[in-house]
Chain A
Amino acid sequence: EPEVTQTPSHQVTQMGQEVILRCVPISNHLYFYWYRQILGQKVEFLVSFYNNEISEKSEIFDDQFSVERPDGSNFTLKIRSTKLEDSAMYFCASIPSKYTDTQYFGPGTRLTVL
C-alpha cells in the first residue's frame, strides 16, 4: 500500500539555522499538509497546499515558514531561522482530492533545536 514518506526521521539543528523537512506524498495525491506536534501536546495544523500554492495556513505558520513543491514528488517545509520553540514532531499528510475525507500521514520528522 502506498505511504507518505518523510526525511529525515530526526533533525538536530542550532537555533537560528535554516532547516528543510522533506515529504514525499502518495503519488496521485493533490492536496498536501503540514502539521506540528510539540512533545506531549496536540497535533496542530500548519499549512495546506494545492496546485502549487498555499490554500490555507494557521497562525503558527508565520514568515519564518515556507512550503514548496520543487518537483513532481517532493513537498518541503522550510524554517528559515529556527527557534527553540520550533522543536517538535512535524507530520506531512496528503489526500488525492478535495472529496477525500481521510488524510494520510507520514511517519514524521522530529526536529530538535538546540
Chain B
Amino acid sequence: AQSVAQPEDQVNVAEGNPLTVKCTYSVSGNPYLFWYVQYPNRGLQFLLKYITGDNLVKGSYGFEAEFNKSQTSFHLKKPSALVSDSALYFCAVRDPLNNNDMRFGAGTRLTVKP
C-alpha cells in the first residue's frame, strides 16, 4: 500500500530564512505527490503537485518541491520564509490508477518567527 511519511512534527524557521518541510513516500510504481496547506480554522488548500516531468515543481505562494526518485522524497521548500507561511503542511500521495486512494502524511506544523 502506498504511504507518505513526514518525519518532523514541527519546523521552526526565522523569517527570511529558507525553509524545508520533509516528506518521503512509499509506493509501488510512479506516484502522484501533493502538498496541501492548512491555515487555522481553514480547510486544506492545494499548494503543488508532481505527476510527471520536471522533478522541480513550483506552486502557490512561492513554494516549490523536488521529486527525488532515488531518495523517495518530495520535500517542500521556499527560499525565504514569511511569518504568514506559518501553518500545517500535509504531504499526500495518490495512486495514479485510483482517484479514491489518496493518503496523507501526519502533517508538519511550520512556525516562522519574525
Contacts and interface: CB of A to CB of B under 8 A. Distances in A.
B114 interface: no
Given A42-B105, A43-B90, A102 B43 contact: no
Nearest to A97: B99
Contact of B49 (A35, A45, A101, A105): A101
B103 A45 contact: yes
Contact of B44 (A43, A100, A101): A43
A101 B51 contact: yes
Nearest to B6: A42
Interface in A86-103: 91, 93, 95, 98, 100-103
Contact of A45 (B44, B102, B106): B102
B71 interface: no
Contacts of B100: 33, 45, 48, 55-56
B99 A95 contact: yes
Given A101-B51, A105-B36, A105-B44, A42 B107 contact: yes
B45 A102 contact: no
- Looking at chain A's contact residues, is the secondary structure mostly helix, strand, loop, or mixed? strand
Interface in B78-97: 90, 92, 94
A108 B43 contact: yes
Nearest to B109: A40
B92 to A, nearest CB: 8
B43 A106 contact: yes
Interface in A31-87: 31, 33, 35, 41-45, 48, 55-56
A91 B107 contact: no
B7 to A, nearest CB: 13
B9 to A, nearest CB: 9
Interface of B: 32, 34, 36, 41-46, 49, 51, 90, 92, 94, 98-107
4 closest cross-chain pairs (CB), A and B: A107-B43, A43-B104, A105-B44, A56-B100
9 contacts: A6-B43, A33-B100, A42-B106, A44-B104, A56-B100, A56-B101, A98-B99, A101-B94, A107-B41
